[in-house]
Amino acid sequence: MSDTTALIFGYNNYSIEMLKNVEHEYDKVKIYSLYEKDLKTEGYSIGHFDLSDNWQEMEDDIDIKKSVAFCVLEEMDKNVFLVISLRSTYENLSIIAVASHKEDANKLLMAGANKVIPLVETTADIITNMLENPISNDILHEILYEKSALKIAQIKIGKESHFKDEELSSIDWSHYNGIIVLSIMHKDMKSEFIYSSKAKRHVVQEDDVLVVVGFDQDIKDFEKRIGSNRYVNWNHWGW
């Protein structure tokens, strides 16, 4: 466990999942909310902040030199302002922020974020599943917090793929070295964790999308072997 403190700015569903994922990685985890009503939430110790440049109260409680900040405010203009405020005050602070689309990601990077997690409507459930399921915790930590060559890619099932018309539970994923399949996304954009009971019974259809993690060459080999093509590669966001 690192002796670093994780500072999570924003109290919402995503920040709670973030908390679950990082609480075993850091010595301390602190959640801060813009809204005083959240301070009374049972089960969590929540501090208050107000987007000013006065971080003295927070500094009295933690060692900022041994901290990493997660900016997960749902209102993007406030999230950008938060990153600007933190970066202008703490030159060496590691800042990880979330963005709803690439334009917001670019704003956050320009504001001073070290990394941006892309969250678009079609992949929100995928990110949540990654945070909730232990099978991917180590991989997610590698991608977010380390300079890793690992990539997340979405592979669309083509009509010639030999996965087509196969039940997911019948596929032996161990045959595909270097690849971990996290979830499947259907035509209606609903996603399911690959090992859920519902997903196991799913029969793969053309245009279904598999979300995988691996190194670039392994992903390319996987595409060739199953006869499908890459749909979206989040590595292109410039993490």
Query: Would you list the domain boundaries of the chain?
Result: 2-119, 151-237
Q: What is the per-residue pLDDT for 232?
A: 47
Residue at 209: amino acid letter: V
Mean pLDDT of 220-235: 68
CA distance 156 to 209: 4
Q: Say what the pLDDT of residue 231 is.
A: 56
CATH number of the domain located at residue range(s) 151-237 in this protein: 3.30.70.1450
* Tokens of residue 115, six digits: 């990394």
What are 146-174's pLDDT values in tens digits? Answer: 555 667 788 888 888 888 888 887 888 77
The pLDDT tens digits for 77-108 are 899 999 999 999 999 999 999 887 778 888 99
Work out the pLDDT band at 142, boundaries 50, 70, 90: low
Q: Right CATH number for 2-119 from 3.90.1150.10, 3.40.50.720, 3.40.50.300, 3.20.20.60?
A: 3.40.50.720
What percentage of residues in the chain have a pLDDT greater than 90?
A: 20
Tokens for 93? 């602070």
Which residues pair with residue 154 across a beta bridge?
211, 232
